[in-house]
Chain A
Amino acid sequence: MCKLFSIKRFLVITYCFVSLLVINVAQAEQVVVYSARIEELIKPMFDAFTRETGIQVKFTTDKEGALLARLKAEGKRTPADVLITADAGNLWEAARAGLLKSVSSSILEANIPAHLRDPQGHWFGLSVRARTIVYNTQKVKPSELSTYEDLADPKWKGRLCLRTSKKVYNQSLVAMMIAEHGEAETERIVKGWVDNLATEPLSDDTRTLEFVAAGRCDVALVNTYYYGRLMESNSNLPLAIFWPNQKNSGVHVNISGAGVTQFSKNEHAAIKLLEFLSSEKAQNLFADVNMEYPVNPKVKPSKIVAAWGEFKQNPMNLAKAGELQTAAIKLMDRAGYR
């Protein structure tokens, strides 16, 4: 005990600790971000913003739920100016809980289509994440595929792979289906999916894709950027993307997006950051780092992403995904979708 923690060592450690605490960032204009989008996918854009405007960005990353709880607990003394999430549902909940400020900016309104932002201006989509059908090219012809709903048809029995219902991407998809078809019909569809499963729901999108590629199942529902990443590491996989529901509602999309916090002390800088992220200059960068789709219609997706073909998006406002998320989870529980 004494050897390990001698007084000298203790003092050295204490000194290091105190000096690390004391170092404070200079008081230039800055914006503090709570981000559920991970560092890799957000820092390049912050750096670009600082280069362009001179405004410093301080950020911390965590899961959505923890960030919301933290904002609530901090109340009016929160240091956060901006909340970034990787889905619409959590932004909707943040707005409902009074954690986000209503922002009106002609730039944001011009850059972001109406269905990808909150009608009251509490949050704004910054990149589009499309959840679509991926199939094994050796076992399925694209002509066999049509809609999300069709995957409940008995012809897919033992051929479908799904990620667990605990991921918000699936919750949003089901929530949007409730908005379109109503609860009873959606429950029938989800039950059909569960009946068609080739194996238990899997823990992530990449694993789901690998199962399709290995022939464990023939079709699956995944976000396109996971497909992009996997194909980048192994382009020989017998996988292809199919855009469902093109004749009716369109492909289900979610967003990663942001809002200005209710008690932001640097509102000006915060709005500037959002405007920058939605601008043509930043949109390429924002969407490209994760092979997502730009929200700004004036910006083209990256070459790799564009090669997957064009598709019609579901134009329903994403606020529905938040509003019906609880109902969606309950429905999936009832349908036995784990």
Chain B
Amino acid sequence: MPTDDVWKHLVDTALFTLLINTFWLSVGVVVGTSLLGVSLAWLTAIYQFPGSRFFSWALLLPLAIPAYVTAFIVHGLFDYTGPIQTTLRTWLGSELPWFPDLYGRGGVTVVMILAFYPYVYLMARNAFLTQGKRLLEVAQSLGLNRKQGFFKVALPMARPWIAGGIMLTLMETLADFGTVSVFNYDTFTTAIYKAWFGMFSLPAASQLASLLITLVFVLIIIEQQFRARMRFAETKRSSHADRIVLSGWKACTAICFAASVLFFAFVLPIMQLSGWAAHSLMQSFDQRYLEFLLHSLLLSAMATLITCFVAILLVYAVRLYSNTFTRIAVRIATIGYALPGAVLAVGIFIPLAWLDDQLNEWLLTLFQIEAGLLIQGTVGVMLIAYMTRFLAVAHYPIDSAMQRITRSIDEAAMGFGLTGWAVLRSVHLPMLKTGIFTAAALVFVDVMKEMPITLMTRPFGWDTLAVRIFSLTSEGEWQQAALPAVTLVLAGLVPIILLMRQTDK
């Protein structure tokens, strides 16, 4: 069966549309997450209003819900057959031609903004917290008002953090398959899946994937250029005590804004999920849930440790041997996040299988040992795969934190007679702490939600909550899948709460 003309077919029929689709989706999600993420971060880092402490961590909660779950819930609620449209039709006694069509560009963009804004929020908030009100005071002493202080001082200073958050959002958007599938929205990812798994054409799929990678690489280089021109300095962390207190209608507006984002991104989905879960609790709950949960937590914890460790190594590699080669090598190492999960899973599996093969041949010729599969079928493969996928998630926050540690700080430390490990322990680690915790929380939650890699590389019997959700949703059994989904969200809260306790003192 000739498959080499698949590429030509894609170029002729679909490529233009999916480029346009991917472009507008990316623009929409980037603009939306930046606006929401930065404004909420500024609000909770600088101001104090009733509930501001609660919102400061609660606004991270949507991170624990996989985007495609939110997508499905939005469909369940707002679709033609959903309760909202149905009720409206009954009240008004007519069709609702003015009701927005969910299958357009808007629906999928909004869902992704709600699912991904916490990346920008978390990272921008760290920046604002560490600059704090003091920076604003300095700005004011220079004759700038609060608005100018934000746009001319705080925002530019927070740029590496915000850019990091936006890059994560963008890569997540480009790699997404689940959410766009629910909306039947064609992007690069859906085209890669179609070429590979539908038309069985690996060449066409690889061509599309390389195009995607090139695109991401260009974006990363552009972002890098922006960052390279900036220098950063640390100011003292602000505490809750010296925040600007909001009252009256200003406090009301702040509460309403934060509460409505939280409502649509977290409360509403969780209410719907819980409703479904209660419905199916009796038939779908069994003792294996404990096992699923344990596997999910264990894998996430191990992957988090490894990924953060490697990310720290990468950050130091660039700091110590800062040349073009290391910079590019680090960029390549963190690009896995932009690749569709299934493509990455297969891409990792093939070289590992090859390695296993070589190892076997070698053992057979040297020692006459038929070893079988040594690497595949172990948790090690999963961890390598997770690390490949989520290195970017760990790298951005740690890298941004590292940019705060200027050369002069190192020189000052040396002036005090500190060298090597002592500098690392008493100067660098305290300054990197927030970045490392951010990285750890993000990776932990992302691994819990991860599906294609887990499905492909798990050893027999290593089923997780995500695997359970896949198993039920692939046949459209959403009510049944609600229980593992709720469990996954609850388990995802643990690292988020730990993180906030660490960074929000």
Residue A38 is within 8 A (CB to CB) of chain B in the complex: yes
Find the A residue at minimum CB distance from B459.
A21
Picked from A25, A63, A323, the residue with its CB within 8 Å of the CB of B1 is: A323
Q: Are A70 and B349 in contact (CB under 8 A)?
A: yes
Interface-located stretch among B147-155, B157-165, B188-196, B253-261? B188-196
Q: Which of B179-187, B214-222, B393-401 contacts its partner? A: B179-187
B67 within 8 A of A: no
Interface residues of A in 213-251 (CB under 8 A from B): 213-214, 216, 226
Write the nearest CB–CB distance from A332 to chain B, whole angstroms. 10
Q: Mark A3-20, 1 if CB is under 8 A from B, else 0.
A: 011000000010011001
User: Which one, B130-138, B197-205, B236-244, B318-326, is touching chain A?
Assistant: B197-205
Instruction: Give the docked Cα–Cα distance between A203 and B196 (Å).
Output: 20
Cβ of A61 and Cβ of B181 under 8 Å apart?
no
- Are A17 and B302 interface neighbours, CB within 8 A? yes
Given contacts A74-B376, A75-B353, A166-B190, contact A214 B80 (CB under 8 A): yes
What secondary structure prevails in chain A residues at the interface with B?
Answer: helix
B452 cross-chain contacts in A, Cβ below 8 A = 66
Residues of B within 8 A of A166 (CB): 181, 184, 190, 193-194, 198
The yes or no answer to A69 lying at the interface (CB within 8 A) is yes
- Shortest Cβ distance from A318 into chain B, in angstroms? 16
Decide yes or no: A168 and B198 within 8 Å by CB, A61-B455, A77-B372 being known contacts: yes
A46 to B455, CA, bound (A): 20
A9 to B, closest residue via Cβ: B301
Q: Are B476 and A66 in contact (CB under 8 A)?
A: no
Residues of B close to A183: CB separation below 8 A: none
Is there contact, CB below 8 Å, between B379 and A17? yes
Selected interface stretch from A117-125, A194-202, A304-312: A194-202
Contact B199 A17 (CB under 8 A): no
- State how many angstroms separate the Cβ of A105 from the closest Cβ of chain B: 27
Q: Is the CB of A325 within 8 A of B81?
A: no
Nearest-Cβ distance from residue B385 to partner chain A, whole angstroms: 13
A267-298 at interface with B (beta carbon < 8 Å): none
The distance in angstroms between the C-alpha atoms of A117 and B198, with both chains bound, is 21
Contacts of B31 in A (CB 8 A): none
Tally of A-B residue pairs with Cβ under 8 A?
Answer: 149
Task: Check A66–B455 contact: CB distance below 8 A.
Answer: yes
Where chain B touches its partner, the secondary structure class is helix
Q: Which residues of A come within 8 Å of B, CB atoms? A: 1, 4-5, 13, 16-17, 20-21, 25, 32, 38-41, 58-66, 68-70, 73-75, 77, 79, 93, 96-97, 164, 166, 168, 171, 199-207, 210-211, 213-214, 216, 226, 323, 325-326, 329-330, 333-334, 338
Using a CB–CB cutoff of 8 Å, the interface residues on chain B facing chain A are: 1, 3, 6, 9, 13-14, 75, 79-81, 86, 101, 103, 181-184, 186, 190, 193-194, 196-201, 298, 301-302, 305, 342, 345-346, 349-350, 353-354, 356-357, 360, 372-373, 376-379, 429, 433, 436-437, 452, 455-456, 458-460, 467, 470-472, 474-477, 498
23 A-B contacts, Cβ less than 8 Å apart?
Answer: A1-B436, A4-B498, A13-B302, A17-B302, A40-B477, A61-B470, A63-B342, A66-B456, A69-B346, A70-B349, A74-B353, A74-B376, A75-B353, A77-B353, A79-B373, A79-B377, A93-B200, A201-B184, A202-B184, A326-B6, A326-B199, A326-B201, A329-B199
